[in-house]
Structure 1
Amino acid sequence: MNKKEQLMEYITQDIVAFLIEDYDLSMDEAMHKVYTSEIYGKLTDEETGLYLQGSAYIYDMFKEELSNGQIVQAEY
C-alpha cells in the first residue's frame, strides 16, 4: 500500500468512526454508507486530491451528501 492509499484508508476509517458515534450505527451500516457514497468515490480518485484534506472536512462533505443526496461544496 502506498502513502496515498494509506491516507485514503485512514480517512475512511475516521469517517466510519464518526458515523458510528454521531448516528449510532453499527460498523456494517456505517461502512456500507461510506463505501457506497459519492464522496468515497471522490476520496479514492487520486485526481481529485481529496485524500489530502482532513478527515473532519471530508466528513462534513459526507454529511451534506447524506442530507442532500449529493455533494455540496461551498464556493469561495
Structure 2
Amino acid sequence: MKDRNARYLFEGISADVVRYLVERDGMELTEAISTFHNSETFSKLEDFSTGLYIESPAYVYDLLLSEMKNGRLVP
C-alpha cells in the first residue's frame, strides 16, 4: 500500500480512537488526544510496518484499552 493511503487510514483510525475515548470513556478531548498519542498503541499504529493501520478503529481502541488496563501492550 502506498504511504499516502496508509497515512489516510492512520489519520482516520486516530480520529476515531480519540472520539471513542471522549464518547465512551468520558475523557476531555485534550486528555483523550494525550492518552492516545503517548501510548504504545499509537506508536505501533504509526509504524506502518506493523500493519496495524489496516485494522478497524474498534480493534485499535480495544488494544489501547488493554494497554491502559495492563500498563503495556500484551501480545
Question: Same fold by TM-score, threshold 0.5 exceeded?
Answer: yes
Structure 1 position 22, deviation (Å)? 1.5
Give me the whole-angstrom Cα distance separating, in 2, the residues matched to 1:10 and 1:69.
25
After TM superposition, the structure 1 stretch with the greater mean CA deviation from structure 2, 22-31 or 35-44, is 22-31
Percentage of identical aligned residues: 36
Q: CA RMSD in A?
A: 1.1
Counterpart position of 1:41? 43
Give me the whole-angstrom Cα distance separating, in 1, the residues matched to 2:73 and 2:24.
19
2:32 paired with 1:30: yes
Give me the whole-angstrom Cα distance separating, in 2, the residues matched to 1:72 and 1:62.
10
Structure 1 position 23, deviation (Å)? 1.5
Give me the whole-angstrom Cα distance separating, in 1, the residues matched to 2:74 and 2:57.
16
Structure 1 residue runs of 4 or more that deviate by more than 4 Å after TM superposition: none
> Which blocks of at least 5 consecutive residues in structure 2 are unaligned?
none
Out of 41, 61, 67, which is 1:59 matched to?
61
Between Structure 1 and Structure 2, the one with more helix by share is 2
Counterpart position of 1:9? 11
Structure 1 position 2, deviation (Å)? 1.0
Corresponding residue SS for 2:58: helix
Structure 1 position 8, deviation (Å)? 0.3
Corresponding residue SS for 1:2: helix
